[in-house]
Amino acid sequence: MTWFLVRRIGQSVAVIIGVMILTFILVHLEPGSTARAVLGLKATPAKVAIFDNTYGLNRPLPVQFWLYCVHVLHGNFGISYVAGQPVSTLIAQRLPRDAVLLGLSTLLALIIGIPMGLYQAIHHGTVRDDVIAGTWFTLYSAPDFMEALLLIAVFSVHFHLLQPNFPGGITSVGGLFSDPNALILPVIVLAINSVAGYSQYMRSSAIEELAQEYIRTARAKGLGERLIIIRHLLRNALLPIITILGLSLPDIVAGAVIAEAIFNFPGMGLLFWQSALAHDFPVMLGATLIIGVATVVGNLAADIAYGVLDPRIRHAV
Amino acid sequence: MRRTHRLAAAAAALALTTLVAACAVGGGGTIGGGSAVKGQKMKGGTVTIAEVGASPNDIFPMLPATNSNGYNGVLTLGLWPPLVYSGDGAKSAPNPQENLYSSLKYSDGDKVITIDLKPWKWSDGEPITSRDFTFVYNLLKANYNDWFDYVAGLFPVDVAKVSTPNAHTVVLDLTRSYNPTFYTDNVLATIPLLPQHAWDKTSASGKVGNYDETKAGAKAVWNFLQGQGTKMGTFATNPLWQVVDGPWKLAAFQSSGYYAWVPNKSYSGPDKPVLNKVIWTPFTTDTSEMDTLRSGTSLDLAQVPLNDVRQIPALKSEGYSVAQVPAPGVAEILPNFYAPVAGMLLRQLYIRQAMEYLINRKQIVQKAFAGYADPGNGPVPTIYGQQWDSPLEKAGGPYQYSPAKAIALLKAHGWKVVPGGTDTCTKPGTAADECGAGITAGEPLTFQLLFASGTESFDEQNAAVQSSESLGGIKITLKSEPFNTLVSTTGTCNAQSHPASICNDWQIQQYGYNEYLMDPSGAGQFNTDANGNYGGYSSPEMDKLINATEYGSSNAAFFAYEDYAAKQLPLLWLPNESTVFVYKSNLAGVTPLNPFSGLYNPEVWYYTKPAS
């Protein structure tokens, strides 16, 4: 297991370095003048020169990459051209809030999706199975902006029951809970799209497990159906969900740009989107690197969790 | 760009697009007029203003060259207003109530300006003096290259000497004569006064001195203040920023863009705030702002995107009134006179005239901008009023929509006109009835219109232009790009930059509008090699007329320039969309909004309660 971990961590570091190099090259392939994109049409040649000098854009590309690496090693990822703040500060303001929002929606999706998938597996092939799957797939295939706007129209505009978005002053994780009413709609909208995925993975996995010999053996031994499901089926059927959860870590880090836009939630998704439009390279690079790290860590965590939960894998390693 | 860049006005511009149209909306509320709120005036209260995409990030009122964020101007305008306060309500004139001077006289052939400051005080009780002006001057003189609002050749490099005969008088000796209106409206209006007695220091713990009096000292002070100005976490607590001369003080600031003003209790001006607090709350998108408005929550003033004007009746039923404000600027299709092939076509005045005749501006105002736009008759929008808007422009401009006139012009210059198709040149040559220099036989009359994506009204406008141009056989293909990409990939093209690859990739483009300050001068936009003359238009006659408006003293000079520009079409004129706002109906004093100074003057706002 130790050698496995060392190897996986080594691979992860290599992947992260590769992400840094690749994204740096890609953003610098973007055509046009960064200074003009940031300063606007009225940028005089003198102002462009000052801008380029301030941010090192007039230096050779390898030197710029080296400076980027230095910023990364110092943990600040450079200074945003647009916000004038360290990229690390911008990310630190948004990432925890995204993690809470997307964490809550993932939790809600799991709470609904796992029992739902289990229920469908047990009633596999029945009308109930089809109705539930059809319902969730309908919601899954509906664009989330449409779901968001519909829910706002009904619960905020028509009935005035729920807040349509977050107050503009929220800058901390604690601030999210100062007005829990504002959390309800975004959490629901984000959960809707995940429930279908989780429930169908759970359903498939559980159907597969139900056909296994150990389930038949348990039944033959006279174990109660509830005990079989909870003690034996659930644990084994959850393994694919663990993988999906691990792989969804980058989604949490990357934010949810549409939900952020509609619910006035300045998170990582909008930060990345706006920085891409504004040619704010340090933010683009910083956000991409964080997402890359989250992807690698999520994969690693899934592998480790798999090993912990499934002795066959652990022993095989 | 020769013209100054005023960040407060730019912030207004960020949110909107342009022009006036005194029309009624939905349920019939009048637009843009004075506030018609009736009832008893109430003291106190809080106003919450929605700002979409607002993210101020620097509080020092003179931004460095690398910071183009117009929202900083809105943040600081109420704290440190400029010497000359732009906009008297909706009028393009200095605001006598808010100006920091009591008199401003030009003498010696308009080369000397004598400024008498009002006997006002800073919020800490210290008097505002001429030393505060010299402090600003010294800082800018040593650092003008790092000042975003610096315009080549203007303040402070055009000042030969500053003298202060007494504590309230400043005398500026300029290096040349200027038109007083131009200089007051477009130069002095960009300069705030700063508290020398509190800010003339080089470190937070250092003592205040006269460091600004040497170049090295002025640079050190500038660097210190610039550094402090970017520390967003201390905007509301740093003692530096608590010394203000405007009607407001900053009470709260969050990096999200949320901030709050409270009254400066020591404000010396006559318009003392009645409200207890003004809150600026940020929204990520128009959608989230509109959802909040429709859900009846606590917003007191917000912009309504033109795409959502159909919701105005519903908002009225929620207790809002409606106002619109034009953007002080000119919208256009920008021709690239140095584009390969297309540049040769665009240099022909008759082709530009034909293209302008084929733009149905009235239809665009109604269909693309829902009636909220200036007609775009020429270089000066109607908002500027009688003083600036020439009779020709008021009458609709020289080129009102007429496909017949466009076709006649093209035929008269040797083109085979194919309405709905593509015209071709049949008579190459330079005679009066031939296509013109550089245009070959069989040359098609076709252009690619590059425009900024993401704005539905622009999409509709450009589709309309494409359609109406085809009536004269001028084929327009459309290509859209995100605004920043468009800006970064299309540089200024003129005789100096040509040939440059950045000039080869665009022929005509539309990106929004060019903003003006109080004086809608063409300086910086249409004179040869001006920084804002992106397409490379050049005409000695235009240069002469513009110089007369900037440096001469004749009031007639402006109309002469304006009419010449309107006819010569350095740009193809387009309607310029206005911004539509809603505000709580019991909030008085909001209108007319001031398009020249960040739109809002909450020091004159107050709530009313219904008369019993």
Shortest Cα distance, chain B CAs vs residue A296, angstroms: 30
User: Are A54 and B295 an interchain contact pair (Cβ–Cβ within 8 Å)?
Assistant: no
User: Are B487 and A36 an interchain contact pair (Cβ–Cβ within 8 Å)?
Assistant: yes
**Structure tokens given for B331:** 């919208």
% of chain B surpassing 90 pLDDT: 65
Q: With a threshold of 0.95, does the pTM exceed it?
A: no
pLDDT (mean) for B116-145: 97
Asked if residues B334 and B574 have their Cβ atoms less than 8 Å apart, the reply is: no
Inter-CA distances, B254 with A69, A91, A174, B47, B557, Å: 30, 15, 14, 17, 48
**Structure tokens given for B590:** 């909001």
Quote the pLDDT of residue B578: 92
Amino acid at B203: S
Residue A143 or residue B47, greater confidence: B47
DSSP character string of B178-230: --HHHHHHHTGGG-B---HHHH--SSSSSPP--GGGSHHHHHHHHHHHHHHHT
Residue B205 gets the label, from left (phi > 0), alpha (psi -120 to 50) or beta, of: alpha
Q: Please tell me whether the peptide bond between A167 and the residue prior to it is cis, using omega within 30 degrees of 0.
A: no
B436: Cβ contacts below 8 Å, ≥ 6 apart: B344, B347, B348, B350, B351, B413, B429, B430
Nearest-by-CA chain B residue for A55:
B66
Asked if residues A63 and A39 have their Cβ atoms less than 8 Å apart, the reply is: no
The answer to whether B163 contacts chain A (CB < 8 Å) is no
Chain B residues within 8 A of A82 when measuring between CB atoms: 55, 69
Burial (CB count <10 Å: 0-12, 13-18, 19+), residue B612? exposed
B513: Cβ contacts below 8 Å, ≥ 6 apart: B13, B17, B18, B327, B329, B330, B331, B332, B576
Computed over every residue of chain B, the mean pLDDT equals 88
From B255, B295, B488, residue closest to A36, measured CB to CB: B488
User: Are B289 and A278 an interchain contact pair (Cβ–Cβ within 8 Å)?
Assistant: no
* Residue that has been written with the tokens 């940031």 in this structure: A38
Residue A261 or residue B560, greater confidence: B560
- Start-to-end CA span in chain B (Å): 56
Quote the pLDDT of residue A193: 81
Quote the pLDDT of residue A316: 60
B1 pLDDT higher than 80: no
From A50, A82, A261, residue closest to B65, measured CB to CB: A50
Q: How far apart are CA B177 and CA B3, in angstroms?
A: 17
Quote the pLDDT of residue B5: 35
B14 pLDDT higher than 50: no
Asked if residues B588 and B607 have their Cβ atoms less than 8 Å apart, the reply is: yes
From B145, B254, B534, residue closest to A171, measured CB to CB: B254
Nearest-by-CA chain B residue for A277:
B484
Residues 53-112, chain B, touching A (beta carbon < 8 A): 55, 57-58, 65-69
Q: Which of B484, B505, B529 to mutate to test the interface with A (most CBs of A within 10 A)?
A: B484
Asked if residues B600 and B71 have their Cβ atoms less than 8 Å apart, the reply is: no
B4 pLDDT higher than 70: no
Q: How far apart are CA B196 and CA B160, in angstroms?
A: 22
Asked if residues B53 and B557 have their Cβ atoms less than 8 Å apart, the reply is: no
Quote the pLDDT of residue A169: 64
From B230, B256, B294, residue closest to A266, measured CB to CB: B256
Nearest-by-CA chain A residue for B232:
A85
User: Are A262 and B295 an interchain contact pair (Cβ–Cβ within 8 Å)?
Assistant: no
pLDDT single digits (tens) A66-81: 999 999 999 889 999 8
Cβ-Cβ pairs closer than 8 A, A with B, add up to 142
Helix extents (H) in B519-597: 540-551, 556-568
Q: Give B332's strand partners.
A: B573
Computed over every residue of chain A, the mean pLDDT equals 86
Q: Cβ atoms within 10 A of the Cβ of A88, count?
A: 19
**Chain center to CA of B611:** 39
Where does the pLDDT of residue B491 fall: very low under 50, low under 70, confident under 90, or very high at 90 and above? confident
Shortest Cα distance, chain A CAs vs residue B4, angstroms: 10
pLDDT (mean) for A152-181: 81
Asked if residues B404 and B52 have their Cβ atoms less than 8 Å apart, the reply is: no
Chain A residues within 8 A of B296 when measuring between CB atoms: 160
Residue B453 or residue B3, greater confidence: B453
From A37, A54, A156, residue closest to B295, measured CB to CB: A156
% of chain B surpassing 70 pLDDT: 93
pLDDT single digits (tens) B274-289: 999 999 998 888 888 8
Long-range contacts made by residues B418-426, C-beta under 8 angstroms, separation at least 24? B418/B473, B419/B470, B419/B471, B419/B472, B419/B473, B420/B470, B420/B471, B420/B473, B421/B470, B421/B473, B421/B475, B422/B446, B422/B473, B422/B475, B423/B472, B423/B473, B423/B474
Q: How far apart are CA B350 and CA B472, in angstroms?
A: 13
Quote the pLDDT of residue B357: 98
Quote the pLDDT of residue A317: 52
Least confident of A153-157, B95-99, B259-263, B553-557: B553-557
Quote the pLDDT of residue B7: 39
Where does the pLDDT of residue B19 fall: very low under 50, low under 70, confident under 90, or very high at 90 and above? very low
Inter-CA distances, A7 with A58, A312, B298, Å: 40, 19, 56
Chain B residues within 8 A of A31 when measuring between CB atoms: 485, 488-489
DSSP character string of chain A: -HHHHHHHHHHHHHHHHHHHHHHHHHHHTS-S-HHHHHH-TT--HHHHHHHHHHTTTTS-HHHHHHHHHHHHHHTS--B-TTT-SBHHHHHHHHHHHHHHHHHHHHHHHHHHHHHHHHHHHHTTTSHHHHHHHHHHHHHHHS-HHHHHHHHIIIIIIIS--S-SS--TT--SHHHHHHSTHHHHHHHHHHHHHHHHHHHHHHHHHHHHHHTSHHHHHHHHTT--HHHIIIIIIHHHHTHHHHHHHHHTHHHHHH--HHHHHHTT---HHHHHHHHHHTT-HHHHHHHHHHHHHHHHHHHHHHHHHHHHH-HHHHHH-
User: Are B152 and A264 an interchain contact pair (Cβ–Cβ within 8 Å)?
Assistant: no
Shortest Cα distance, chain A CAs vs residue B283, angstroms: 6
B31 pLDDT higher than 60: no
pLDDT (mean) for B78-82: 95
From A84, A160, A265, residue closest to B284, measured CB to CB: A265
- Helix A87-122 vs helix A281-309: crossing angle, to nearest 10: 40
Q: What is the CA radius of gyration of chain A?
A: 24
B8 pLDDT higher than 90: no
Shortest Cα distance, chain A CAs vs residue B609, angstroms: 25
The answer to whether B501 contacts chain A (CB < 8 Å) is no
pLDDT single digits (tens) A234-274: 888 888 888 788 778 887 777 788 888 888 888 888 888 88
pLDDT single digits (tens) B476-490: 999 998 888 888 877
- Phi and psi of B598, rounded to 5°? 65, 15
Residue B359 gets the label, from left (phi > 0), alpha (psi -120 to 50) or beta, of: beta
Nearest-by-CA chain A residue for B72:
A83
Chain B residues within 8 A of A36 when measuring between CB atoms: 487-488, 491
Pairing of strands B101-107, B112-117: antiparallel
Quote the pLDDT of residue B29: 32
Exposure string (b/e) for A148-181, b if CB count within 10 Å is 16 or more? bbebbeebbbeeeebbbbbbbbbbeeebbeeeee
Shortest Cα distance, chain A CAs vs residue B182, angstroms: 19
Where does the pLDDT of residue B459 fall: very low under 50, low under 70, confident under 90, or very high at 90 and above? very high
Asked if residues B78 and B247 have their Cβ atoms less than 8 Å apart, the reply is: yes
Q: How far apart are CA B150 and CA B62, in angstroms?
A: 10
Exposure string (b/e) for B65-100, b if CB count within 10 Å is 16 or more? bbbbbbbbbbbbbbbbbbbbbbbbebbbbbbeebbb
Quote the pLDDT of residue A171: 67
Q: Which of A27, A30, A39, A42 to mutate to test the interface with B (most CBs of B within 10 A)?
A: A42
Quote the pLDDT of residue B214: 97
Quote the pLDDT of residue A276: 86
pLDDT single digits (tens) A88-114: 988 988 888 888 888 899 999 999 999
User: Are B230 and A85 an interchain contact pair (Cβ–Cβ within 8 Å)?
Assistant: yes
Nearest-by-CA chain B residue for A83:
B57
pLDDT single digits (tens) B384-405: 887 888 999 999 999 999 999 9
A130: Cβ contacts below 8 Å, ≥ 6 apart: none
pLDDT single digits (tens) A32-53: 888 888 887 777 788 888 889 9
Q: Which of A88, A94, A165 to mutate to test the interface with B (most CBs of B within 10 A)?
A: A165
Has the ipTM of the complex gone over 0.85?
no
pLDDT (mean) for A286-295: 90
SS3 call for B36: coil
Quote the pLDDT of residue B257: 85
Quote the pLDDT of residue B545: 96
Where does the pLDDT of residue A203 fall: very low under 50, low under 70, confident under 90, or very high at 90 and above? very high
Nearest-by-CA chain B residue for A40:
B487
